[in-house]
Amino acid sequence: MKENTENLLAQNRKARHDYFIKETVEAGIALTGTEIKSVRARRITLKDGYVQIINGSAFLENVHINEYKQGNRYNHDPLRRRRLLLHKSEIRRLAKAQEERGITIIPLKMYLKHGFAKVLIGVAQGKKQYDKRETIKKRDQDRELRRKYKI
C-alpha cells in the first residue's frame, strides 16, 4: 500500500520504538463534522491512543482531536470514544489478538484516502528496555554503514 505523504495527517512515531508491530489493519473512523475539520487541519495527537473492542465493535480511545476554532456550540469532546469502521471478521481477529498477554492495539497513522479519514492500526507487543537499546544500536550501525559506503 503506497500513499502520498501529503495525505498523512498524523503519525505515532514512538509506536515503533516502544512496540514490536506484528500486523497492521486499515480502518475507517466515524467522525462528527467539527472533528473532520480539525483532522483536515492536522490537529491530532495519536501518542497515547489505543483500540478497545467492546461488544463486537472497535473503538479508538484516548486520541486527542482539538476542538474546531469556528465550531462554537457544535464542538466535540476532544478525547471522546470514536468508532472504527471494520469488517466483523477483522474485529474478531483483533479481539482474539487482544486477549493474548502483552498484546495491545495502537493507532500508527491517520491519513486521508479518497477524501475519507483512515487510521492504520497495529497489533503490537511491548518492547523491553534492552530491546529498545538494541533497536537504537542497530539503527546507528546501519546509518554508519550507509554513510561509509556512500563516499
The amino acid that residue 48 corresponds to is D
The cell for 93 is 481477529
Q: What is the pLDDT of residue 109?
A: 92
Closest CA to 105 of 87, 123, 119: 123
Q: Is the dihedral of CA 81, 86, 88, 90 positive or negative?
A: negative
What Å distances lie between residue 25 and 3, 40, 107, 116, 121, CA to CA?
Answer: 15, 21, 10, 16, 5
| Owning domain of residue 19 | 9-150
Residue 140 inside a domain? The answer is yes
pTM of the model: 0.80
| Section 118-130 average pLDDT | 88
What's the CATH number where 128 sits? 2.40.280.10
33 has pLDDT over 80: yes
Number of domains in the chain: 1
Does any domain span residue 96? yes
- Where do we find the cell 475507517? 28
